A and B are shown apart, each in its own frame.
Chain A
Amino acid sequence: MSTADFAAFSDRAVMFAGIVYALAVLAHVVEWASSLARPVPHQEPASQQQGAAGGVAVIQGPPEDADSRRELRIETAGRIGVALTVVATALLAAGVVTRSLGTNPWRVPWGNMYEFSLVGSLGVSLIYLALLRRMQLRWMGLFVTSFVLVVLMLANLTLQQAAGPLVPALHSYWLVIHVGAAITASGAFAVGALTSVVFLIKDRGPRTGAGGRLLAMFPPTDVLDRLAYRLHAVGFPIWTFAALIAGPIWADYAWGSYWNWDPKEVWAFITWVVYAAYLHARATAGWRGRTAAYLALLGFATLLFNFVGINFFFGAGSMHSYAGH
């Protein structure tokens, strides 16, 4: 295959990945809709007691015929959703790999925002699938697949650019290290932010009615809080490495100064400070719980702004502007 073939294959693989993610979203929607149709009484106490058990598809009480059929439907839809996510992730991975082979010479697939979005979505998917069983993340399926689908669609509509070689400024192995670490940390933060959002909704949400039934499908708040913490605790050191070690080393090497107060650096630093505040807040009375979760979301907002805002609004003023168009 020639590089052009690889590049074309990559575009097609990403497109198909998007379609399969959409199907996975549908499967999870069916799973949710069926769960909502479950009679109320079994729900709330069951999943509270279950502790770490993700609780979407837990069968409770004497299984009557209609009930067991429903539970089977929920379970099947959920399993199909996960299976489709696996397929979509494999397709996306193939798209990312061929994207990297689609240039001459081949290179890491994160030379611009489009590629960063692809690899970031892949990271989120992989983190979700890797932790799915161990952390009982089935409840997260709908969110993860929708999130990845939206990111892929936005990337395709607004960021798409044909595969090509890197601009000279990126000719460095630090691209692999610095951007690779940044993507990994962003993936962990994204999944963490998702968990924090669910934590906040569940914490204050209704306990009864349709809303209550919906919220009963999530793990208890303390499980969510701990999961969010662990994701952030993994993301934070990686982010520290990406933004405050690898970045400055490369900057010193390429620009002659390890810290230039470039808008992207400033916002990476802001993100770091906010997540540091999150970790501290989580251990402080009066701040832990909701306030800490809000800080985590603020941190993710600064991360997103750094990725989108800086590249589009301050692109000309930033030395990181080659990351855009």
Chain B
Amino acid sequence: MIKNFLQFFAGRILADETVKPLAQIEFLKDFLSKHKYVYSADFEENLNILKRKHLVDSFLVTNMDGSIVVSSEGNGHSEGIVGTAMLSYIKSELPDSESVLIKRNGHWFMLFPLNKKVFIVKAGSELSNLELRALAIEMDSLLLMNKTQTEKRRVPQMA
């Protein structure tokens, strides 16, 4: 019993040659600092944060008629019309379809309808429905936040 005790004591206490990996701790702290997504009052900046957070190249939000609500790249009129037309056609043929994914020239184009809007997302790899939904919900709340801020800033016009 004493032999066991001494062996355990030596192994556990005296021969603990482990050292805290400080360089790795710093590396991981740095990793997290690059993945912080805090929204500001600047809507354009928030669109970029949303792109980085959801790992997508660009996105476009349109109304169901194809008119643009917002675009992360500042354009996309034709993509909006083609995307919503394509989604309308697929929905007419397959009413219970949830999203449309197209792979073209190494990129994925994804169409996701939510709250009477169509979210058209371009990314290097496909997003699942869950990820598309999370992106759309967050984008939708950003749009709402921006609308509220814009209304607050609006000065009443003098007659």
Q: Do A and B bind each other?
A: no
Which B residues are closer than 8 A to A by beta carbons? Answer: none
What residues make up the interface of A, taking CB atoms closer than 8 Å to B?
none
